[in-house]
Amino acid sequence: MSKEPPEISTKTLAETDNYIAWSASEPDGETTYHLELGNVTLHFFNEEWQELMQLVRALPRGK
């Protein structure tokens, strides 16, 4: 008898025409974050995501 894999719950955080940021609640209780940027997908654990958000907030705004 095979065991069903646990379901992973995902949530879209932000989306544009070309990019998407989303999170996943993993079966082990960890939340992971993902950025899909064209052909590249970046995956982050919570601590890495928090540091990335700190970096993004520190960037100067374009005109």
**Res. 1: pLDDT tops 70:** no
**Res. 63: pLDDT tops 90:** no
pLDDT digits (tens, 9 = 90+) for 4-60: 777 889 999 999 999 999 999 998 999 999 999 999 999 999 999 999 999 999 999
Higher pLDDT, 63 or 40: 40
Q: Quick one: pLDDT at residue 17?
A: 95
Q: 57: which 2 tokens?
A: 């907030």
CB 20 within 8 A of CB 11: no
CB 15 within 8 A of CB 8: no
Q: Quick one: pLDDT at residue 35?
A: 98
